[in-house]
Amino acid sequence: MLKIGSKIFDGIFSEGNRKIIESFTIWTATIGFIFHLSLVLLNNYSIINIGNESLLLTNPISAIYTPFSIILYYEIFLLIYFLPRSFTTSILKQFEIISLIIIRRIFYDIPKLDLDSGNWFNNPDNLQITYDLISILILFFLIYLFNLVKSGIENKKGNKSINQFIDSKKIISIALIPVMLCLFIIGIYNWYSIGMDSNFASSFYYVNEVFYNTFFSILIIADVFILLLSFLYTERYSQIMRNTGFIICTILIRLSFSSTGLTNLLLIVSSVLFGLLILKIYSLMNKIE
């Protein structure tokens, strides 16, 4: 059963398929950017009338939001691909995804900036983008440190039990693929349904956030299954602590989607910082075990 699941995973995530999906993502992101930018320009010059309730349809800078959204879906695909490799690689990909989500939000919020006000910090939109920019620098540095610690950890040579564990994680990854596709289809349907009653641009932003909220909730369940499976293949205290700590990181990221403002950013930064400290302590214990 494990071998069959492993072969299915290797077939789905073969190098050829990954290159096809990567090329499709790049072309789709480019076309999406051009289409979104065209809508904004046509709307601004009153050639078409799709409303001006949302900055997504009135400011050209907001067009960058669309290709970033498409690239983030590809990052989710890569997260599922990296999930069987190791908990460390998987959580690293989660950190990269959440940092890209903040960058995408910056492009959404830039048109809201009030450059005419006498005091920059009196405007909540100005404050939010300032917090986002500072958070991105902190996250980028923490992710660099995480990569640095990760590269210093000696990889154990594969044995029969480890290979069985990897095959088990591949089955969990396969199960996440239809879940992601269902969430994507439901998101498109909800976007259309909500957009018909209100505003397409606003509903696009709302449904996009709901997608990541739901996906990370499911990812927590997948991580717990992997943690339980790990008890069958390892009794090392440091490894169990590391895996449990990384699940806490995922939970903090999930909680960040339910919050706004500084609370949102503090949860994200604390998740990456906690993951970095867990990995550093694990690497120290790894040297003496």
How many Cβ atoms from other residues are within 10 Å of residue 232's Cβ? Answer: 11
User: CA-CA distance, 27 to 32, in Å (whole number)?
Assistant: 8
Max alpha carbon distance in the chain (Å)? 69
Q: What is the pLDDT of residue 287?
A: 81
Rounded (10°) CA dihedral 231, 232, 235, 238: -40
- pLDDT at position 184 is 75
Range of the domain at 275: 2-288
Check pLDDT > 60 for residue 196. no
pLDDT value at position 43?
A: 80
**Total domains in the fold of the chain:** 1
In this prediction, residues 173-193 reach a mean pLDDT of: 77
Helix (H, G, I), strand (E, B) or coil at 147: helix
User: Nearest-5° angle of CA 41, CA 44, CA 47?
Assistant: 80
CB 257 within 8 A of CB 209: yes
Q: List phi, psi (to 5°) of 270.
A: -65, -35
Q: Which residues of 179-200 are buried (b: 16+ CB within 10 A; e: fewer)?
A: bbeebeeebeeebeebbeeebb
What 237-241 contacts at long range (C-beta under 8 Å, 24+ apart), as own/partner pairs, is: 237/285, 238/281, 238/282, 238/285, 238/286, 238/289, 239/282, 241/278, 241/281, 241/282
Tokens of 87: 């908990």
pLDDT tens-digit series, residues 237-262 = 888 899 999 999 999 998 998 888 88
